[in-house]
């Protein structure tokens, strides 16, 4: 083990893991899931915890503060001057977030979303991997670089608090930070996944996000189903008809043209190469990650098509429902209303605003039976497609991954959304991006039993330190 790896392991074991255990206990769900987040105070509690830890680091000349804008979630900002005055005008931005997804059901009996469990190499609990570790890993990497004689440019660490809601507060924060951000040459995002725990995985594309709540009202109150069924149309049957406009129920194909884009040839080739790299799983590179119920099969079994289906094709997920009583309290009543929450993943280069508008128009136009149909928009978010990786960065990623993991880095398209990457990509088209993370197969971000794989987290931290040094060495 190198001195760099030894130092990082020591900081993770002694400082980061105990702090992450405290962080997991804080139920600071994102504002979309907690209308009273300011009054509840959990977000401030998480901010205070992270800021306290950051201020205790041995990093030369750095500052930590919290930017607060009226009516918006806070933003933690750490500024670290360059290790060498010659690098003072060059900037690297490192990004993560501290807001969390809601609890979800299905946690192990001895745990829960707010109960940290350290078991072997895994730290279970909501938000440890997505994305509480990011602030600690970023500063640990910079601290280690300084201690071990590695160089780095000026670094700005941004930790936001609305990412799981689509980052609606981030544009205002970035506007307010324009003078402090400068023109980043390199952006390192620590909020993505990994196809295995054997190397550094770098994300080359992220899907965008659209969706909202679709409601169909047919009555002002529930009525005995024996009296009105067959006369009053079912709100559920109407909502099924509306969904047939946007999705083929047999195949899952999304039918609204504005939600699709052609797949770039280089990304198709990348998916084929990644599928070959991860060969050996019976049904493709992704299906081994999931525990299917009974005899359920994957919707797509070809390995390359699996990767493209989750990175460059739109999908619609039905993530919530209102208007239904629990099954053990369901009387023979024709319900007056049905609401479904739709989460729509968009291809990386799809226009998210146009897609959201098209989705709303398609679902609400000319409703069957003249029913009252409303669609309440969520915050649409842009996807992102990486610029070409510069030769110096490709070499640096391979060298860092080989040093930390023993194997060179690999790239893949991620199915999730990080709105900040789309924002920065538009503002700074010349910047290079390293989007990586610790969500190894089975880590189950957003679901029950989310865990942080600690060896991967330590190795990713080492890779960040080494990439910062490689960037500093470029002209």
Mode of pairing for the β-strands spanning 91-97 and 186-193: parallel
Q: Give the structural domain span for 109.
A: 3-206+383-472
For residue 285, being part of any structural domain is answered with no
Residues 434 and 319 in one domain: no
Residues 341 and 250 in one domain: yes
Output the CA–CA distances (angstroms, integers) from residue 322 to 121, 185, 248, 340, in the order listed. Answer: 39, 46, 23, 7
At residue 301, the pLDDT reads 83
At residue 288, the pLDDT reads 60
Q: What is the CATH number of the domain that holds 178?
A: 3.40.630.10
Residues 427 and 408 in one domain: yes
All residue ranges of the chain with pLDDT < 70 are 279-289
Residues 200 and 344 in one domain: no
For residue 273, being part of any structural domain is answered with no
At residue 289, the pLDDT reads 67
Residues 222 and 250 in one domain: yes
Q: What is the pTM of this model?
A: 0.90
* Residue 182 backbone dihedrals phi, psi, to 5 degrees: 65, -145
Residue 48 in tokens: 């205070």
Residues 188 and 232 in one domain: no
Last residue of a domain, one of 362, 377, 392: 377
For residue 295, being part of any structural domain is answered with no
The 10s digit of each residue's pLDDT in 250-264 is 999 999 999 999 999
Closest listed residue to residue 211, CA positions, set 355, 102, 339, 101? 355
Last residue of a domain, one of 377, 400, 426: 377
Last residue of a domain, one of 344, 377, 410: 377
Residues 148 and 164 in one domain: yes
Contacts of 377 (CB under 8 A, 6+ apart): 212, 356, 360
Residues 130 and 239 in one domain: no
Q: Which long-range contacts (CB under 8 A, 24 or more apart) does 365-372 make?
A: 367/216, 367/238, 367/242, 368/233, 368/238, 368/241, 368/242, 369/218, 369/233, 369/238, 371/216, 371/217, 371/218, 371/233, 371/235, 371/238, 372/215, 372/216, 372/217, 372/218
At residue 298, the pLDDT reads 86
Chain centroid to CA 314:
16
Q: What is the CATH number of the domain that holds 352?
A: 3.30.70.360
**193 strand-pairing partners:** 439
For residue 100, being part of any structural domain is answered with yes
For residue 357, being part of any structural domain is answered with yes
**217 strand-pairing partners:** 337, 372
Count of domains for the chain: 2
The 10s digit of each residue's pLDDT in 161-218 is 999 998 999 999 999 998 899 899 999 999 999 999 999 999 999 999 999 999 999 9
Residues 188 and 336 in one domain: no
Residues 181 and 229 in one domain: no
For residue 225, being part of any structural domain is answered with yes
For residue 143, being part of any structural domain is answered with yes
At residue 284, the pLDDT reads 56
For residue 111, being part of any structural domain is answered with yes
Q: Would you say 75 and 160 are in contact if contact means Cβ atoms under 8 Å apart?
A: yes
Residues 232 and 360 in one domain: yes
At residue 374, the pLDDT reads 98
Residues 252 and 361 in one domain: yes
C-alpha to C-alpha distance for 209 and 212, rounded to whole angstroms: 10
At residue 283, the pLDDT reads 52
The 10s digit of each residue's pLDDT in 359-407 is 999 999 999 999 999 999 988 999 999 999 999 999 999 999 999 999 9
At residue 256, the pLDDT reads 98
């Amino acid at each position: 083990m190198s001195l760099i790896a030894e130092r990082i392991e020591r900081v993770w074991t002694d400082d980061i893991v105990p702090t992450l255990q405290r962080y997991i206990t804080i139920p600071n769900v994102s504002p979309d899931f907690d209308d009273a987040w300011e009054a509840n105070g959990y977000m401030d509690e998480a901010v205070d915890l992270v800021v306290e830890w950051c201020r205790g680091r041995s990093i030369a000349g750095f500052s930590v503060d919290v930017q607060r804008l009226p009516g918006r979630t806070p933003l933690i900002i750490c500024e670290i001057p360059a290790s060498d005055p010659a690098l003072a005008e060059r900037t690297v931005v490192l990004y993560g977030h501290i807001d969390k997804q809601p609890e979800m059901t299905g946690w192990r009996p001895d745990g829960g979303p707010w109960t940290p469990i350290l078991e072997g190499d895994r730290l279970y609990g909501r938000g440890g991997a997505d994305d509480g570790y990011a602030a600690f890993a970023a500063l640990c990497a910079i601290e280690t670089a300084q201690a071990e004689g590695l160089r780095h440019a000026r670094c700005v660490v941004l930790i936001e608090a609305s990412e799981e809601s689509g980052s609606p507060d981030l544009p205002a924060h970035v506007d307010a930070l324009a003078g402090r951000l400068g023109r980043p040459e390199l952006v390192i995002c620590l909020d993505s996944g990994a196809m295995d725990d054997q190397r550094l995985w770098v994300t080359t594309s992220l899907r965008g996000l659209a969706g909202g709540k679709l409601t169909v009202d047919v009555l002002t109150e529930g009525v005995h189903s024996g009296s009105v069924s067959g006369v009053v149309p079912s709100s559920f049957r109407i909502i099924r008809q509306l969904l047939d406009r946007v999705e083929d129920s047999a195949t899952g194909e999304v039918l609204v043209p504005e939600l699709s884009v052609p797949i770039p040839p280089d990304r198709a080739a990348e998916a084929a190469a990644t599928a070959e790299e991860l060969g050996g799983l019976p049904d493709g590179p992704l299906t081994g990650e999931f525990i299917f119920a009974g005899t359920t099969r994957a919707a797509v079994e070809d390995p390359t098509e699996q990767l493209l289906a989750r990175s460059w094709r739109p999908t619609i997920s039905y993530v919530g429902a209102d208007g239904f009583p629990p099954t053990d309290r369901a009387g023979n009543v024709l319900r007056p209303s049905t609401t479904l929450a739709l989460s729509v993943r968009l291809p990386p280069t799809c226009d998210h605003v146009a897609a959201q508008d098209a989705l709303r128009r398609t679902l609400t136009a000319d409703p069957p039976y003249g029913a009252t149909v409303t669609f309440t928009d969520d915050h649409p978010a842009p996807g992102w497609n990486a610029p070409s990786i510069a030769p110096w960065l490709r070499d640096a990623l391979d060298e860092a991954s080989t040093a930390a993991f023993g194997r060179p880095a690999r790239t893949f398209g991620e199915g999730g959304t990080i709105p900040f990457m789309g924002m920065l990509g538009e503002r700074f088209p010349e910047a290079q991006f390293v989007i990586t993370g610790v969500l190894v197969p089975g880590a189950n971000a957003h679901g029950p039993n989310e865990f942080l794989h600690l060896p991967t987290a330590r190795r990713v931290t080492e890779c960040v330190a080494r990439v910062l040094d490689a960037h500093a060495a470029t002209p």
